[in-house]
């Protein structure tokens, strides 16, 4: 598992810079830099959203990764010990990014 810090405050899964989703997906199959990646698991927080008490925020998270050019991607899984997903004002997944992305 990867320790995930997430500054995407507008995501329904974000709680105190942690993710309440058991696993996330980083997209950006042809990315060469971090701003060409995004969190494919992003869902915009809405007024009718009520946090599901079944899920608790957690730093350790399973991260599947489609960023084929990232040095931490091994068999479509992130093997970085820590990652940072950014996009504090994001309204869609394209406005997020994996700041830990490092091109091979």
Domain boundaries, the chain: 2-98
pTM: 0.88
Q: What is the pLDDT of residue 50?
A: 52
Q: What is the pLDDT of residue 46?
A: 80
Q: What is the pLDDT of residue 49?
A: 57
Running along the chain, 104 residues long, what does each successive block of 10 average in pLDDT? 92 90 95 97 78 64 96 97 95 97 96
Q: What is the pLDDT of residue 48?
A: 58
8-36 burial code (b ≥16 CB/10 A, e <16): bebbbbbbeebbbbeebbbbbeebeebeb
Among 89, 90, 96, 82, smallest CA distance to 34 is for: 96
Q: What is the pLDDT of residue 53?
A: 46
């Amino acid at each position: 598992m990867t320790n995930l810090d997430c500054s995407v405050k507008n995501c329904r899964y974000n709680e105190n810079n942690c993710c309440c989703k058991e696993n996330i997906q980083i997209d950006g199959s042809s990315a060469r830099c971090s701003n060409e990646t995004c969190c494919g698991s992003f869902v915009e927080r809405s007024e009718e959203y009520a946090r599901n008490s079944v899920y608790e925020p957690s730093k350790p998270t399973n991260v599947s990764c489609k960023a084929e050019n990232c040095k931490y991607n091994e068999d479509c899984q992130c093997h970085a010990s820590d990652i940072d997903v950014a996009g504090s004002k994001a309204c869609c997944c394209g406005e997020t990014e994996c700041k830990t992305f490092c091109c091979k």
